[in-house]
């Protein structure tokens, strides 16, 4: 077998065997991290937007809304996470000063078919 034939054979084996297996191992979305412990460090009335970003990174989604309409808009950041119960969103609301108001964990799906209920991680009011 010539050197050219050997290189061609190695190339064909690479294309048929090695390359598809390498792709199959790296395809698909990466699992989401469990960020509940980090979200519990966010303290309403004390933790600022900058501190939340330093702790959790850039939010997955940002929402501005105001209720009632004549009030200044509140800012909401949402993060994605995953634990043994499945995927969820961490919902963090800020007031107009940039301080945290509320922190919720909202499951994406219910395991038992019942309606999904949020879990308050932190709020400014005593229990």
**pLDDT tens, residue by residue, 10-38:** 554 444 544 445 544 555 677 889 999 99
Q: Classify residue 105: in a domain, yes or no.
A: yes
Cβ 92 vs Cβ 103: under 8 Å: yes
Nearest to residue 116, comparing CAs of 78, 86, 79?
86
- β-bridge pairing 74-83 and 61-65: antiparallel
**Structure-token pair, residue 12:** 């064909």
- For position 115, what pLDDT does the model report? 65
- For position 35, what pLDDT does the model report? 92
Judge if 35 and 17 occupy the same domain: no
Judge if 69 and 111 occupy the same domain: yes
Burial class for 68, CB neighbours closer than 10 Å (0-12, 13-18, 19+) = exposed
Number of domains making up the chain = 2
Rounded Cα distance, 83 and 85, in Å: 5
pTM over 0.95: no
Rounded Cα distance, 78 and 76, in Å: 7
In the predicted model, residues of the chain with pLDDT beneath 50 are 7, 12-15, 17-20, 23-24, 126-127
Give the structural domain span for 10.
1-26
């Amino acid at each position: 077998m010539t050197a050219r034939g050997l290189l061609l054979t190695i190339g064909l084996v690479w294309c048929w065997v090695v390359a598809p297996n390498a792709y199959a191992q790296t395809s698909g979305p990466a699992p989401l991290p469990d960020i509940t412990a980090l979200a519990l460090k966010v303290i309403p009335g004390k933790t600022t937007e900058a501190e939340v970003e330093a702790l959790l990174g850039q939010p997955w989604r940002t929402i501005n809304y105001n209720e009632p309409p004549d009030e200044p808009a509140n800012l909401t950041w949402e993060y994605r996470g995953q634990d043994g119960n499945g995927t969820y969103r961490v919902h963090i609301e800020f007031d107009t000063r940039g301080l945290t108001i509320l922190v919720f964990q909202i499951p994406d799906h219910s395991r038992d078919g019942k309606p999904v209920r949020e879990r308050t991680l932190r709020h400014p009011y005593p229990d």
